[in-house]
């Protein structure tokens, strides 16, 4: 609950609008699958 909380929450909102959420708690590494499908570099 710091001074930058409002700015951080705005950032999170923008990320949710423009990024795809991927569950990383499974044995499948979906980052590699998505990168292969789109030829995108994923880190």
pLDDT at res. 9? 94
Q: What is the distance between the alpha carbons of residues 7 and 31, in angstroms, rounded to a whole number?
A: 28
pTM above 0.75, yes or no: no
Q: 31 CB contacts (<8 Å, ≥6 apart)?
A: 22, 42
pLDDT at res. 7? 93
pLDDT at res. 16? 93
Question: For residue range 3-43, what is the model confidence (pLDDT) as tens digits?
Answer: 799 999 999 999 999 998 877 777 877 777 776 666 555 55
Q: What is the distance between the alpha carbons of residues 15 and 37, in angstroms, rounded to a whole number?
A: 22
Question: For residue range 31-40, what is the model confidence (pLDDT) as tens digits?
Answer: 777 766 665 5
């Amino acid at each position: 609950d710091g001074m930058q909380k409002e700015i951080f929450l705005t950032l999170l909102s923008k990320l949710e609008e423009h990024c795809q959420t991927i569950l990383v708690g499974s044995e499948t590494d979906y980052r590699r699958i998505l990168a292969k499908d789109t030829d995108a570099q994923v880190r």
